Amino acid sequence: MEKAPASRLEPFFVCFLLVLGLAVSVISWGYGFGSLRQPGPGLYPFFVGVAIAVFSLFILVSELRSGTGEPVLDKQGARTLALMALTFCLWIVAMPLLGYVVVTLLATYAFCKIMKLEGWRKPLAVSAGTALFIYALFDYWLYIDLPRGILE
């Protein structure tokens, strides 16, 4: 099975947190550290930033010393993750234009197919049922006014 290099991402992630911790501390210093007698708005986040940087540094050293871990995703898994994330993003982009009912119907169908629900009848039934359920729940039960888009 072909493995995606997801495990190699972890040291980069920890490096990012290390930089984030340092940045938080530097920016906090700019907010005004104040004094122990009269603490400023930067005092607390400064120490939080230092804590993030110190913990990240220790974890990074420990990760680098222990070598690379098991890959967390194979190629198929990475593809599923990317498609799921893309569908979530498309829902956000399309929702104000098409309305939440239509987008819910389309997104549910897409999720069913990404997760390999066979045929077209079952995915259609699940997506129609979900759209109807969401509509009933938010419109009739909770009285929440959501964008209806083309159904306006």
Partner 1 sequence: MEGLGLLFSGFVSSLTTVNLVACFIGALVGTLVGVLPGLGPTATMVLMLPFTLPYGPTTGLIMMTGVWYGAMYGGSTTSVLVNIPGEAASVVTCIDGYQMCKKGRAGAALALVAIGSFVAGTIGLLGLQFFAPALGNAALSFGPPEFLCFMILAFVLLSNLSAEAPLKGALMIALGLFLSTIGITPMDSYPRFTFGSEQLMLGIDFLPIAVGLFGISEILNTAIEKYVKPVVRKIRLKELYPNRDEMRRSIGPMLRGSILGFFVGLLPGPCTVISTFVAYAFEKRISKTPERFGHGAVEGVVAPESANNSAVMGSMIPLLTLGIPFAAPSAIMLAGLRMHNVEPGPMLFVTNPDVFWTFIAAMYIGNLMLLILNLPLVGAFARIAMIRPQILLPIISLICLVGVYSVRNSLFDVWVMIAAGVVGYFLRKWKYPIAPFIIGVVLGPTTENSLRQTLLMFKGDVSLVAGRPLSVALLALAAVFLAYKVIAPLMGKKPELKVDEGKSL
Nearer to partner 1, 3 or 146 (CB): 146
CA distance linking residue 7 with residue 11, whole number of Å: 8
Q: What's phi and psi for 15, nearest 5 deg? A: -60, -45
Nearest to 77 by CA among 143, 137, 2: 2
Nearer to partner 1, 9 or 149 (CB): 9
To the nearest whole angstrom, how small is the minimum distance from the Cβ of residue 149 to partner 1? Answer: 13
Q: What is the contact surface with partner 1 in residues (CB under 8 A)? A: 6, 9-10, 13, 17, 20-21, 24, 27-28, 31-32, 35-45, 48-49, 51-52, 55-56, 58-59, 62, 69, 72-73, 77, 80-81, 84-85, 88-89, 91-92, 95-96, 100, 104, 107-108, 111-112, 114-117, 122, 126-127, 129-130, 133-134, 138, 142-144, 146
Handedness of CA 73, 75, 78, 84 (dihedral sign): negative
State the DSSP string of 19-33.
Answer: HHHHHHHHHHHHH--
